[in-house]
Amino acid sequence: MSATDVLKKVPLFSDLSDGDLAGFADVLREREYPKNSVILFEDDPGDALYIVSAGQVKVVLIGEDGREVILSVMGDGDFFGEMALIDDEPRSAHVIAMKDSRLLVLRRDDFQAQVVGHPRIALKLLKVLVQRLRQADAKIGGLVLLDVNGRVARLLLDLADESGGPRITRRLTHHTIAQMIGSSRETVSRAMRELVERGLIETTRREISIKNRDGLASLAGSRT
Ligand code: CMP
């Protein structure tokens, strides 16, 4: 797929004309990152924005004891690395490839020129940042207000919405779920078992299916 085709799938650029997209594609560089490689290090200076062309990455904070909390998982069409370009502060988190990934890289100067030159991009950028703030608010709320079953329930509902149906096909280990909701693998395994026993979900090696959405939503303290 050409860089222009990839850009058309990126919500940030979806309003641009083919001519503008081609101009953009000219200044993008493609880079490959193998699974588990670190793409950005927290506290490094920021010199570029990254767009996921193929693959999957996670945004993580790593504590001094090596424990990881996953702030976000991103896939095709998502972008990251904008924060350090906007406020000139160091990178706010690590970004690590969860699968072999192909990324498009936009250098700082080109990013700034594009945002200034296309106010619609600036507005879309704001929209994505606001969505991320909402998700971060929901996560903080979940950490303070919900028990582990509720946090797992909320995560599963969000992932099901993301995949557009009751089945979550993204491969998720209990360890990864634990890192996404700030818990331990053992506690998550216990919570998953309980959700299965209560008939709220079904799990196979390949996927998790939501069986009772209302029940999960009530655990997650939300409306369906
Ligand atoms: P930057 O700080 O430049 O580098 C790390 C990137 O991770 C950051 O830009 C964002 O793109 C991304 N990031 C940081 N925190 C979050 C979050 N809470 N949700 C989604 N993405 C984030």
CA of 213 to the centre of ligand 1 (A): 30
Q: Which fold has domain 146-220?
A: Arc Repressor Mutant, subunit A (1.10.10)
What is the DSSP-derived secondary structure letter of residue 191?
H
What is the average pLDDT score of the chain?
Answer: 91
Tokens coding 220: 């997650």
Residue range 3-132 forms a domain whose CATH class is mainly beta
The model's pLDDT over 36-72, given as tens digits with 9 standing for 90+, comes to 999 999 999 999 999 999 999 999 999 988 889 999 9
Strands 94-97 and 167-168: unpaired
Asked if 199 and 205 count as a contact pair (C-beta separation under 8 A), the reply is no
Residues in the ligand 1 pocket, defined by CB under 6 Å = 40, 46, 59, 71-72, 80-84, 91-93, 95, 132, 136
Compute the average pLDDT of residues 168-188.
Answer: 91
CA of 170 to the centre of ligand 1 (A): 21
Whether residue 93 is predicted with pLDDT greater than 80 in this model: the reply is yes
Q: Give the residue whose CA is nearest to atom 21 of ligand 1.
A: 72
Q: Which of 215, 221, 173 is nearest to 194 (CA)?
A: 215
> For residues 105 and 74, what is the distance between their CA atoms, to the nearest angstrom?
15
Place of tokens 């149906």: 165
Q: What is the crossing angle of helices 148-163 and 119-145, to 10°?
A: 150
The H helix count followed by the E strand count for the chain is 9, 11
**pLDDT band at residue 224 using 50, 70 and 90 as cut-offs:** very low
Phi/psi at 61 (5° precision): -110, 140
- Which residue ranges make up each domain of the chain? 3-132, 146-220
Global pTM reads 0.88
> For residues 183 and 168, what is the distance between their CA atoms, to the nearest angstrom?
20
Compute the average pLDDT of residues 123-134.
Answer: 93
Report the length, in residues, of the chain. Answer: 224
Q: Among residues of the chain, what percentage have pLDDT more than 70?
A: 98
**pLDDT band at residue 17 using 50, 70 and 90 as cut-offs:** confident
CA torsion sign for 4, 34, 162, 137 is: negative
CA torsion sign for 177, 182, 184, 187 is: negative
